[in-house]
Amino acid sequence: MSARPNSLAARDGAYHFHGYTNALKNEQEGGFVVTRGDGPFIYTEEGKEYFDGLSGLWCCALGFGPQPRLIEAARRQMEILPYYHTFTQKVATPTVELAEKLVGLAPVPMSKAYFCNSGSEANDTAIKMVWYFNNALGRPQKKKIIARNKAYHGVTIASGSLTGLPAVHADFDLPVPGILRTDCPHHYRFAEPGESEADFATRCAENLEKLILAEGPETIAAMFAEPVQGAGGVIIPPATYWAKVMPILRKYEILLVADEVICGFGRTGNWWGSQTYGMTPDLVTSAKQLSAGQAPIAAILINQPVYETLRDHSNRLGSFAHGLTYSGHPLAAAVALETLRIYEDLDIVARVRALAPHFARGMQAFAGHPLVGEVRQIGLVGAIELVRDKASHASFDSKLAVGPNLVRIAHDHGLIVRPVVDSICFCPPLVSTEQQLDEMFARFGKALEETH
Ligand code: PLP
């Protein structure tokens, strides 16, 4: 179906090259133009309403309607000082305040915040920090980075290399050398027959240690990991996984970088996913809900020992010669700071915890459906995995595109959710009401019934 001539959709097809989009399809059909939002709903140019069950891209914790406090924070900052940078000790007021606030909120004691504009940039920067750290310590060979299958850490050359999804690498000449891959901790999909969650977690940790020993611990700098793997299909680790993995990382002096880009700021029922799973990261990368998706900003939190090493090396070299024109942009920082204050005023963590059982019940209501293999969720994020055979967990042939087809039908019913192959991901705004979640599940239920 092609777009109405001269509509925004048609103009988008004519002029805009999108990311994560079939470019030819967009040119032929035009874009899906969203013109306004209200709570968890978005509206198109033609006036059709959709429940956005993924909060945009896992980011719009406050939904899509106008937020008077954020409008005011942005307006005030634009009036006072629309731009200043962070090079050579310069900084604008909200950037200082945001750094202080984030260090105060950190999941484990952290010393400093460093700002970027996106999750990909934050992870790229964290890799550079880890390399700089080991150079500073006179360990130039300790540089390899471990990431997991099905991880999502971004799309830039380095962060895209950490991402463990083949589609992100295909024909982009990724990954770059020096990235090691370890198990995805998804019990339902990768456990041996009869293996308990705890035994599976132990096996993942043993495999990690084998990898480290085979490569040589003296060559490995860090492991990057999301507390819950989001874009890989909302993969929730076994309860004992991190208790098994953490001591191995410590034993071989491998830094842990927790990628909290999705989990940070309440998503899993704590401020941070690291708290939900007992991770003790050396660095934390965050973005998305940091500004409720309303301004592009990301932050890296750095612990004291790592920071001191970076600091002293910057002193030796004269500068930490890495920074972005828009690092800690005052407008984005003002919006993020006010977002965090809104979360505190709403007691967002308590709110997520109160809503999570309702979300879980809504998700689990689909568990008995013949197409549904696993339903998994924590806090307000989850996935429903479709299978060909419930008993054996056998997947559909991916060419059948069962998940993407379901998502297309859901779209017709006014629901936006994300298929990761046949796992349908849900990540509604944190401020959704029970009634709104019921509406989301009602739309999904219709789509599931029409899927064969
Ligand atoms: N890390 C995680 C866990 C993510 O989910 C994402 C994006 O979805 C990124 C990093 C990359 O963030 P961005 O798209 O802002 O570069």
Spatial CB neighbours of 391, under 8 Å, sequence gap ≥ 6: none
Cα 226 to middle of ligand 1, angstroms = 10
Name residues contacting ligand 1 (CB within 6 A).
57-58, 118-120, 123, 152-154, 226, 230-231, 259, 261-262, 287
Where helices occur in 178-319 by DSSP H, the ranges are 187-190, 197-215, 241-251, 273-277, 304-317
- C-alpha distance from residue 275 to each of 114, 271, 321, 441 (Å): 21, 7, 32, 28
Cα 121 to middle of ligand 1, angstroms = 9
Tell me what the mean pLDDT of segment 290-315 comes to: 98
pLDDT digits (tens, 9 = 90+) for 121-136: 999 999 999 999 999 9
Looking at the CA of residue 156, tell me the nearest atom of ligand 1: 16
DSSP 8-state assignment for residue 202: H
Cα 285 to middle of ligand 1, angstroms = 10
Nearest CA to ligand 1 atom 13: 119
For ligand 1, mutation pick of 288, 290, 324 (most atoms within 8 Å of CB) = 288
Q: Say yes or no to pLDDT of 452 above 90.
A: no
Name the helix (H) or strand (E) containing 360: helix 348-364
Distance CA 293, CA 118 (A): 10
Write down the CATH superfamily of domain 33-66+348-449. Aspartate Aminotransferase, domain 1 (3.90.1150.10)
Topology of domain 70-345, per CATH? Aspartate Aminotransferase; domain 2 (3.40.640)
pLDDT digits (tens, 9 = 90+) for 59-96: 999 999 999 999 999 999 999 999 999 999 999 999 99
Residues of the chain with CATH 3.40.640.10: 70-345
Q: Say yes or no to pLDDT of 302 above 90.
A: yes
pLDDT class of 2 with cuts at 50, 70, 90 = confident
Cα 119 to middle of ligand 1, angstroms = 4
- How buried is 422 (Cβ within 10 angstroms: 0-12 exposed, 13-18 middle, 19+ buried)? buried
Looking at the CA of residue 260, tell me the nearest atom of ligand 1: 3
Residues of the chain with CATH 3.90.1150.10: 33-66+348-449
pLDDT for position 306? 98
Looking at the CA of residue 298, tell me the nearest atom of ligand 1: 15
Q: Which two tokens stand for residue 355?
A: 């809503």
pLDDT digits (tens, 9 = 90+) for 28-71: 999 999 999 999 999 998 899 999 999 999 999 999 999 999 99
pLDDT digits (tens, 9 = 90+) for 370-425: 999 999 999 999 999 999 999 999 999 999 999 999 999 999 999 999 999 999 99
pLDDT for position 438? 98
pLDDT digits (tens, 9 = 90+) for 275-297: 999 999 999 999 999 999 999 99
Spatial CB neighbours of 218, under 8 Å, sequence gap ≥ 6: 139, 141, 142
Looking at the CA of residue 231, tell me the nearest atom of ligand 1: 5
Cα 239 to middle of ligand 1, angstroms = 24
- C-alpha distance from residue 200 to each of 46, 116, 149, 184, 265 (Å): 49, 36, 15, 11, 29
Tell me what the mean pLDDT of segment 227-233 comes to: 98
